[in-house]
Structure 1
Amino acid sequence: MSTLNPYKKLVFQNIENALSDLNAEDKGRYFICNCPECNQHEAFMYKNNKHFIQCNRENQCGSRMMLEFHEKGNMSAYEQNMAKHYPNLTTDQRQSLDWSNRVFSYAKNYFKSEALDNGYRGLSKQTTRGFAVDLQHEDIVQHVFQKAEPLLNKDYSNNSWMCKRNLIFPLYGEDNTLDRVLLRSSIDENLDPKEIQLIVNPSKETRDFFMDIPQDAENVVVSESILDALSFREVDENVGIMALTGATKTRQVKEYLAEHKEQFVDKKLLIAMDDDQAGWKATRDIVNTIEGDGVGDNWAVFDYTSGTKDANENLQQSRKAFTKTYNQMAAHTKQHERVMAIEHEP
């Protein structure tokens, strides 16, 4: 495991003062702040790890700093929130959920990743950094499974097929606690299936879609997987994303769109399911919700380059063509013709 560069410690009275002093700008799951070192408005702080801030200007600054707060009561808010909202979890389960949430936040910020840093499936480390964790080694994955066993009700730590899945995509609920994890492998990319998902919060119906929509996003992509969604983030760092965890899992996304339609009034929605039978059905379901529940009239179905069936495949095959199509479709409104064609697909 790589040795980290030293980091400074910043002390504030409370988190509210820190956000104010750092001129924090809400970007959904994270804040963009003034870097305390170079004073540029390019440092980031994730909402589920407000103890850490890092400058995004890696070649010019890249400073990493820890935040400390005088008002210790505020720092136990996460634990208090879990006890309040998840009384049905046992003590062991709450401790396991707390540990899992913290270790994934830590790994995002501190673990170096050859797989992610070198461009995983066409995605830069800047794109994957906020969404993916590389546990790197099978023994680390094994340890995580051991600690998470109270939540999973199954011990995967002695299953080498599972322990090879070193790439973790944590999925958080609206209360910012861990709901699910999606597991993939860069150790053995021939594993089948390529992606496994596990529920890590057995006390509730867990969220089954990723969502990260910056407040000033003009476009929001609804895709079939997190890798497809991040492919759009790769060509537009400010695009909002809603990523399913499978083509059949549209219910929660549809409910969210209908219940929060005011959030999408000024957004352009791009529906980007896979170009196959399951994807066409998911597209119809989502479009019916958009139109039937009055979510908005400004939407389009993404049209992939010939020979590709999803966004990540399209990005890897031809980044230039993918970027051009995205820019063209994002710039126009009310492009509904593709759905008419989908209605007649075999």
Structure 2
Amino acid sequence: MSKSNPYKKLVFQNIEDALSDLNAEDKGRYFICNCPECNQHEAFMYKNNTRFIQCNRENHCGSRMMLEFYEKGDMSTYEQRVEKQYPDLTTEQRQALGWSHRVFSYAKNYFKSEALDNGYRGLSKQTTRGFVADLQHEAIVQHVFQKAKTLLNKDYSNNSWMCKRNLIFPLYGEDRTLDRVLLRSSIDENLDPKEIQLIFNPSKETRDFFMDIPQDAKNVVISESILDALSFREIDENAGIIALTGATKTRQINDYLAEHKEQFADKQLLIAMDDDQAGWKATRDIVNTIEEAGIGRDWSTFAYSPGTKDANENLQQNRKAFTKTYEQMAARTKQHERVMDLEHEP
């Protein structure tokens, strides 16, 4: 960005969306955020002036940006936008969807979490920031279920087994509306099953996979769960991640890969499903799509350390070996890039 034009305008619907998109980390009087220009987690925004953000890397970036919010105006609020896109929802459902969206965004950015701050399942606070909300108490989860019962067509608020699931993983559609939520528990990690999925937008076929791919990512990992995907992000902050919500749910991601294959043209795809029968079947299904549609620059499968069957288990039990295996794969990617560069030299 030119120094003669120091202020760039960024537009968000509301402050919650801005904090979520910028991976804001609460530091007391201010937030540390991802810089929209250089993408480094070194920009700051003071809480008493949330319309201004500046990159702290003065000698490398130093960008300064103004934030604008368009909550007011025609079709600008979340509920109004949902009404336009999903007219089949009732007024009560639109309000519940908008309320849930705001609460989850607020919780991700403002709620302190002992479970996440201390390293949840081998994942640091820096990795989980922006992806997981800890509602902390059964009473708060109960209140969310009460407010969302028109969306869920069921009232879970009196179900203690459900209300113990305080960790919320929101999944959003391409239009950035809340699609579904994955729930886990740090209150009682012995709950079975470990993860529950709930559809929060009953008016459409909701997206059943999670995706976060940095603009400069060279490697994109496709895994079976969001915890497995975040395990790769834990050891490579620039890794692109795609997470299924179960080994059998490959149709939507296969369709997305085929329809957006230009997005993956320069990416090395790493398939990292669970090392079991369901995972092997999912791997074959995804690889078939990749090869038939010609997706990505190349693909490979991830080999877990002996005695582990998925990425998160591997990270927790043998982080050093897990990191080494991934780095070897990344090194092959860099070597392939050098070969391609040499081939295109005049």
Q: TM-score range by the shorter chain?
A: 0.7 to 0.9
Q: Secondary structure at the match of 1:210?
A: strand
**Residue matched to 2:277:** 277
Matched, 1:127 2:127: yes
Cα distance, 1:211 vs. partner?
0.4
Equivalence map 1:214-253=2 (5 Å): 214-253=214-253
Residue 77 to residue 92, structure 1, CA distance change in 2 (3 Å): closer
CA displacement, residues 295-333 of structure 1 (integer Å, 9 cap, x when unaligned): 134111001111100000000011111111001012225
User: Which residue of 1 is the match for residue 173 of structure 2?
Assistant: 173
Separation of aligned partners in 1, 2:316 and 2:251: 29
Residue type at the aligned position of 2:21: Y
Q: Aligned partners of 1:138 and 1:125: how far apart in 2?
A: 22
1:30 aligns with 2:21: yes
Q: Report if the CA contact (8 A) 1:291-1:297 is conserved.
A: no
CA distance in 2, matches of 1:81, 1:218: 34
Task: Look up the SS of the partner of 2:78 in the other structure.
Answer: helix
CA contact (8 A) 2:290 2:296 kept: yes
Distance 2:237 2:75 in 1: 31
Measure how far apart 1:30 and its partner are: 2.6
Asked whether the 8 Å contact 1:300–1:333 carries over to 2, the reply is: no
Equivalent residue, structure 1, for 2:33 = 43
CA contact (8 A) 2:34 2:42 kept: no
Q: How does 1:15-94 map to 2 (within 5 A)?
A: 17-18=9-10, 30-31=21-22, 43-44=33-34, 56=41, 63-64=46-47, 67=50, 69=68, 72-73=72-73, 76-94=76-94
- How is 1:169-208 mapped onto 2 (pairs within 5 angstroms)? 169-208=169-208
Per the alignment, in what secondary structure is the counterpart of residue 73 of structure 1? coil
Corresponding residue for 1:3?
Answer: none
Task: Decide whether aligned partners of structure 1 residues 300 and 187 sit closer, same or farther in structure 2, where only a CA change above 3 A counts.
Answer: same
Deviation, 1:241, is 0.5
Letter in 2 for 1:160: S
Residue 34 of structure 2 aligns to a residue whose secondary structure is strand
The CA deviation at 1:67 is 3.3
Q: In structure 2, what is the Cα distance between the partners aligned to 1:62 and 1:114?
A: 24
1:136 CA drift (Å)? 0.3
Q: Percent identity?
A: 75
Q: State the SS of the aligned residue for 2:171.
A: strand
In the aligned structure 1, how far is the partner of 2:46 from the partner of 2:174?
30
In structure 1, stretches of 5+ residues that fail to align are: 1-14, 21-28, 47-54, 335-346
CA RMSD of aligned residues (A): 3.0
1:30-84 Cα distance to aligned partner (Å, 9 max, x none): 3489xxxx999x62389xxxxxxxx9569xx785466364863289243332111
Q: Which residue matches 1:111?
A: 111
Cα distance in structure 2, aligned partners of 1:161 and 1:16: 48
Aligned residues: 299
Structure 2: which amino acid aligns with 1:43? Answer: C
Cα distance in 1 between the residues matched to 2:197 and 2:49: 32
Alignment partner, residue 149 of structure 2 = 149
Shift in CA distance, 329/70, structure 1 to aligned 2, threshold 3 Å: closer
Deviations 1:102-131 (A, max 9, x none): 000000010000000000000001101111
Check conservation: 1:146, 1:156, Cα contact below 8 A.
yes
Secondary structure in 2 matching 1:252: helix
Q: Which amino acid aligns with 2:9?
A: N
Letter in 1 for 2:236: D
